[in-house]
Amino acid sequence: MRLPNRPDQRVGPSLRAILAVSALLAGLLPAQVHAEFGLNLHAPATGLAQNIYDLHTLILWICCAIFVVVFVPMFFALIRHRKSKGHPAAKFHDNLAVEVVWTIIPVLILLGMAWPATSLVLSMKDTGKEDLTIKVTGHQWKWEYEYLGDDIRFMSNSSTPKEQIDGAQPKGENYLLEVDRPLVVPAGKKIRLVMTASDVIHAWWIPAFGVKQDAVPGFIRDTWFRADTPGTYRGQCAELCGVGHGFMPVVVEVVPEARFTAWKEEQKALLAAATANAGKTYELAELKALGEKVYTANCAACHQANGAGIPGAFPALSGSAIVSGDRAGHIDIVLAGKPGTTMAAFGKQLSDLDLAAVITYERNSWDNKVGDVVQPSDIAARRK
Amino acid sequence: MNTATDVADHHEHEHGAPSGIMRWLTSTNHKDIGTLYLWFSLFMFFFAGALAMLIRAELFQPGLQLFQPGVFNQLTTMHGLIMIFGAIMPSLVGFANWQIPLMIGASDMAFPRLNNWSFWLLPAAGVLLIATFFVPGGALAGGWTMYPPLFMQGGIAYDMSILAVHILGISSIMGAINIITTILNMRAPGMTMMKMPLFVWTWLITAFLLVAVMPVLACAITMLLTDRNFGTHFFDAAAGGDAVMFQHIFWFFGHPEVYIMILPAFGIVSTIIPAFARKPLFGYVSMVYAVASIAFLSFIVWAHHMFTTGMPVGGQLFFMYTTMLIAIPTGVKVFNWVATLWRGSITFETPMLFAIAFVFLFAIGGFSGMVLALVPVDIQLQDTYYVVAHFHYVLFSGSAMAIMGGVYYWLPKWTGHMYDERLGKVHFWLTAVAFNITFFPMHFLGLAGMPRRIPDYALQFAEFNMISSLGGFLLGASQLLFLYIVIKCARGGLPAGNRPWDGADTLEWTQTSPPPYHSFVTPPLVK
């Protein structure tokens, strides 16, 4: 595997400065906007991404060469063959030899492009001999990662605060490209991703890996990458998937293998602790505090932070008959979702504790003052 | 007796247009209907353009300022849908109505009443589409491509939009049948197929594409309709359906649709360039074959819109190769345009400026199309702003700028007045410069990893988005000048005479400007 060995793909400081200063002079650029911008594909972190980068560079140069060959004569004619310069119009309108030549030359150029592209397609599709398989499931609007054979499974939500999006706080460095729990993989190993979705089509994309794969409900697709350099790599969902589409980042942490092994042990310990707590009873305040976090990550995109929903599109929870009514009905709709709508079956996505917390939060927030507490054991009882 | 009836009928026709609103509602005259099409499309162009202004305003800075994501998705979806079905396609049909009978020496279209109906379906569909903004839940927000399962989550607007697209499809099919019949049966004596102006050829082939693929779109959206309302599961995986199947059916329509929007534009440009180079079109025969090849290839490239769905390697390679093949006939066309300019006697009136910009900018869109054709590179660029840049280079600086050039070229014929040449040039330069400020930076955004259809973006995309928005506002404002020039020209101006362009040699220039209400009552003889 070839290590990426390429200078930083960002634009030079001078051009950047000129552009930024001109925008600043116009008094238009908010002060917090200072992330580096790129003119080209991300610096490759895998062999495939490197090959894609090189193929793109090759094609770009070929296109530039054709561009010059075609448009230099055109501009020559536009400048020299003008009526205002007294140029008389020629009469010719056909030339078979020329036309044959400019049909055949493009064929040869295309063959030259198709050859490297074909071999790269074949290697991108070669998902065999993997070291580790991770199942990736797209949900509206978060990613779920399941380490097959390791009993590790978790959700990865955007962690950019709503206040930053609404402009109430300055935007952080990784604005919209940060998650609460990234995918963690070992460096130098071939990782096979098997991909699906629970509701609509999503697309999992890390530009630096050269991997973009649609996650299609009801079908399993696979793709692979091998990243050699430890680090954090960021991308986004690339297929329009509803109101949260722009807020569904993909973050991968590539770590040395020893750290990966340790990380797996931590995850298993966390899981064991959660199982041990299954029968525990919680206080209202405790559940509400946790429930607000769960609500923000999972519910607020549609039902809104104030529970008012969006009339016509997403129902209000504040004052809702279901939310302030019988708790069994409330639990059931959260567990099973509502088919044909955006309302997902959260029973498959969230733990009993998270569900208990968010339902308790909804029943005791905004205009809803039911006053009861839903315990994780209540959720477990309603799961059939 | 027959003779007497003929004379009476003939006499009646000489009366010209009825006056008032009934002239337009009941018109069966190809010129009036062409005018209606052109005004309708101009209105929709401004409506969908206004949506684009709102999109660029939201994307001016990172963060959510003006619109919540749900509304933003409605703006992008409806901008695309209305520009394609409401602006570009009807305007090209408007050109066909006005120009095809005049260019082939026919007295009117073959089916005048059908023609009336094809047009008057459009306002109904347009009203339905615009009305969706005001129903509960708002307009279509899942992208103009209407992919399920996301499409299943929408409200009543989704069903209304299906109806609207059905109506637009019926209108297009009727228009296409009319055009095919007119061209095949009503050419003036002596005008063989290979003597037809290239504009007529491009529309003949486009009309066949329309007849072939609009029913496919109708099937796809009917399946969406029954999935949504009548309990079928064509695209619902939970019941054995397949969401990706929709994409195959949709793009089997969608890719020929791209050429439906560009081939008549090729025809317009192929008419303008020889007129102002004062030289015959280079390689007429190869131009005809190139258009036909592009049309054929358009049926076997559809899955290049779907490289990231996870199709088998054989599928990826097949669609990559067929897509690359399109570069050959397209290249032939560009080379022929350049060869037409070569050693001409060139002048730069407004139509010519638009035509030259078309060749230059459309070629950029063609090159980015080549880049996107390569599967590995496409995997990186699929669903990014690079794709947005690519299709605006072929659709705005391609189709839309060719249409504007065509309007300037034929306005003197349609109205009898010259347009304001100075303002026309100002409009051209503003449009060309603003277009590039708006869309060129999007190539960089896409390469750097900005997905399309997002209401908010990471900070490294801020600079280019701001530049793009500023360009967009200028581009939008410049089009108001276009509206002003067109209205000014329609209301008066220097008389155009029969043939204001000394290099123009097609049949319409043998008629007065504006042409009589019934032109070519006696067919001309073409040598």
CATH number for the domain spanning A333: value is 1.10.760.10
Quick check: B344 and A87 CB within 8 A? yes
- Average of per-residue pLDDT values in chain A: 86
In a domain, A84, yes or no: no
Q: How far apart are CA B215 and CA B19, in angstroms?
A: 37
d(CA B23, CA B27): 5
User: pLDDT for B68-123, tens place per residue?
Assistant: 999 999 999 999 999 999 999 999 999 999 999 999 999 999 999 999 999 999 99
Is B310 within 8 Å of A103 when comparing Cβ atoms? no
- Give how far B119 is from chain A: nearest CA, Å: 33
CB nearest to B70's CB, from A20, A239, A243: A243
Looking at the 3D structure of chain A, how many domains does it have?
3
User: Would the pLDDT of B238 be above 80?
Assistant: yes
* Residue where a domain terminates, one of A268, A289, A317: A268
Say whether both A249 and A309 belong to one domain.
no
| pLDDT digits 0-9 by tens, B333-346 | 999 999 999 999 99
The amino acid occupying position A204 is W
Last residue of a domain, one of A239, A268, A297: A268
Q: Does a structural domain hold residue A36?
A: no
**Residue B146, strand partner residues:** none
- On whether the CB atoms of residues B112 and B517 are closer than 8 A, the answer is no
**What tens digit of pLDDT does each residue of A97-111 get?**
998 998 999 999 999
Average pLDDT over residues A74-88: 92
Does residue B450 have a pLDDT over 70? yes
- Both A310 and A246 in one domain: the answer is no
Beta bridge partners of B389: none
Q: Does any domain span residue A348?
A: yes
Over residues A135-189, the pLDDT tens digits come to: 999 999 999 999 998 889 899 999 998 889 988 899 999 999 999 999 999 999 9
CB contact under 8 A, B343 and A118: no
> What average pLDDT is seen over chain B?
93
Same domain, A345 and A364: yes
DSSP letter at A27 equals T
Q: First and final CA of chain A: distance in angstroms?
A: 49
Residues of B within 8 A of A117 (CB-CB) are: 320, 374-377
On the question of pLDDT at A353 being above 60, the answer is: yes
CA pair distance A232, A182, nearest whole angstrom: 9
* Residue-level pLDDT at A293: 87
* B462 neighbourhood in chain A, CB within 8 Å: 29-30, 33, 35, 37
Q: Is B468 helix (H, G, I), strand (E, B) or coil?
A: helix
**Domain assignment present for A42:** no
**Do A295 and A317 fall into the same domain?**
yes
Lowest mean pLDDT among A94-98, B81-85, B200-204: A94-98
A23: exposed, middle or buried (Cβ count in 10 Å: 0-12, 13-18, 19+) = middle
Residues of B in contact with A40 (CB under 8 A): 444, 447-448
- Identity of the residue in B65, B149, B460 whose CB atom sits nearest the CB atom of A36: B460
How many alpha carbons lie under 13 Å from residue B135 in its C-beta half-sphere?
A: 18
Does residue A350 form part of some domain? yes
- Co-location of A374 and A293 in the same domain: yes
B144 CA to chain A: closest CA distance, Å? 11
B339/A37 touch (CB, cutoff 8 Å), yes or no = no
* pLDDT value, residue B14: 52
Would you call B176 helix, strand, or coil by DSSP?
helix
Task: Give the separation between CA B479 and CA B431, rounded to whole angstroms.
Answer: 8
**Which pLDDT value is given to residue B407?**
97
pLDDT number for residue A372: 84
**Could you give the CA distance from residue B250 to residue B302 in angstroms, rounded to a whole number?**
9
Give dist(CA B206, CA B404) in Å, integer: 19
CA A14 to chain centre: 31
Shared domain for A71 and A156, answered yes or no, is: no
Considering the domain architecture, whether residues A139 and A254 belong to the same structural domain is answered as yes
Spatial distance between the Cα atoms of A364 and A179, rounded to a whole number of angstroms: 28
Residues of B with catalytic function: 79, 108, 144, 171-172, 255, 257, 259, 270, 304-305, 330, 333, 452
Give dist(CA A132, CA A186) in Å, integer.
9
Contact state of A90 with B279 under an 8 Å Cβ cutoff: yes
Q: Mean pLDDT, to the nearest integer, of B158-186?
A: 96
- Same structural domain, A189 and A264: yes
Cβ <8 Å between B360 and A71: yes
Q: Which residue has the higher pLDDT, B154 or A72?
A: A72
Number of CB pairs, chain A paired with chain B, less than 8 A apart? 327
pLDDT tens readout for residues A25-58: 444 444 344 446 678 888 899 999 999 999 999 9
Q: Are residues A152 and A218 in the same domain?
A: yes
Quote the CA–CA distance of B171 and B352 in Å, as a whole number.
32
Of B401, B482, B485, nearest in space to B436 by CA: B401
**One domain, residues A370 and A262:** no
Given pLDDT bands bounded at 50, 70 and 90, which one contains residue A128?
A: confident
Q: Using an 8 Å Cβ cutoff, are A334 and A355 in contact?
A: yes
Asked whether residue A14 carries a pLDDT value surpassing 60, the answer given is no
Is residue A13 in some structural domain?
A: no
Domain carrying residue A367: 278-383
Q: Does any domain span residue A301?
A: yes
**What mean pLDDT is predicted for residues B220-242?**
93
What are the helix (H) ranges across B151-197?
156-185
Contacts of A115 in chain B (CB under 8 A): none
Do A247 and A369 lie in one domain? The reply is no
Dist. CA A358–CA A287, nearest whole Å: 8
Strand partners, B384: B451
- In chain B, which residue's Cα lies nearest the Cα of A70? B335
The ipTM value here is: 0.91
Instruction: Give the N- to C-terminal CA distance of chain B in Å, as an integer.
Output: 35
CA angle B306, B309, B313 (to 5 degrees): 85
Answer whether B447 sits within 8 Å of A41, measured CB to CB: yes
Q: Residues 6 or more apart from B352 whose CB is under 8 A from it?
A: B272, B273, B275, B276, B346, B405
In a domain, A333, yes or no: yes
pTM, full prediction: 0.90
What tokens appear for B52 in the block? 């684009």
User: Which residue from B179, B255, B244 is spatially nearest to B216, judged by alpha carbons?
Assistant: B255
pLDDT reading at B15 higher than 90:
no
Which residues of chain A are within 8 Å of residue B61 when distances are taken between CB atoms? 30, 33
Kindly state the tokens that stand for A351.
Answer: 């733990």
State which of A268, A290, A320 marks the end of a domain. Answer: A268
- A241 shares its domain with A282: no
Helix axes B243-277, B284-297, angle to 10 degrees: 170
